[in-house]
Amino acid sequence: MRETDDCIRRPVFFRKLLNAVMWLLSAAGVALAVFCMLWILWSVIRNGAGVIGLDFLFCGSKPPGEPDNGVGNAILGTVFITLTAVVIGVPAAFAGGVGLAIYGQNSRIGNLIRFSVNVMMGLPSILAGVFVYALLVVTTGHRSGFAGSLSLAIILFPVVMRTTEDMILMVPAAVHESSLALGMTRARSVLCIVCRSIKGGLATGILLAVARTAGETAPLLFTALWSDAWPWHYFTQPTANLPVLINEYTTNSPSEEMHAMGWGAAFLITITLLLMNLALRFICREKKHA
């Protein structure tokens, strides 16, 4: 008996070894990700933090060498462009995501829409730029900040729509059913009960999408481009913005001063996103223990 027992036993050693190897691999993956992030953060801080000051934040851009040189016009331009993109893209995408989640399950049209949105999500951002260039810049004869917003909205749209749908589908069916069972309409149940129980995740998802598009450069090269002026002619003229500024100042200029300002702008974008993420986490904490 003892011999057959020994026969069917497998040594524990190899299973433990495999476990250790898997643990090491995933730990190494995590370490790599954290290392990359810290490295990027460090270079941005080292090169960019130094130029931040009142002039830098509140003065408009000027040719190198002039006093009171800043990126204030680009900051404001980016705010205009991004906010308008959010206003155009997010409500429509949210509504689409809700609709897809309620009416688009197991339906042919729903699947078609989902497929299109997935394709749209995979499109290189430069295509959004060229598209709006053909649609708005060529036809009106001028680049504008608004054209930039439109191209960013196109990038934003599919991401927000899929995020919304995915988040809604994560809510257990029982929550939706129990609100319907109380006599609510489907729309009320989804908007007031289902979306309320995922508001933190939804807000985070939408903010991440906004943050990613706020840094998109390629579409803005075709649309908003760049200007040393303040963005008061947002609808009709090229408009200053941070991504194009970083591109121009760091790679297209011989001046050391402008290189430093490019890093400063990169620092600004990074810190803003970081703060926005932290703020959102703070606001949307799950208040389970109220």
Residues at the site binding another protein, with contacts judged by CB under 8 A: 106-107, 172, 174-186, 188, 193, 196-197, 199, 287-290
Least Å distance between CB 108 and another protein? 12
Least Å distance between CB 236 and another protein? 45
Q: Is the CB of 124 or the CB of 172 nearer to another protein? A: 172
Least Å distance between CB 255 and another protein? 54
Q: Is the CB of 10 or the CB of 287 nearer to another protein? A: 287
Q: Is the CB of 177 or the CB of 228 nearer to another protein? A: 177
The sign of the CA dihedral 249, 254, 259, 260 is negative
Q: Is the CB of 194 or the CB of 245 nearer to another protein? A: 194
Q: Is the CB of 16 or the CB of 196 nearer to another protein? A: 196
Least Å distance between CB 205 and another protein? 17
As a dihedral over the C-alpha atoms of residue 11, residue 15, residue 17, residue 21, rounded to 10 degrees, the angle is: 170
CA distance 208 to 228: 29
Least Å distance between CB 94 and another protein? 18
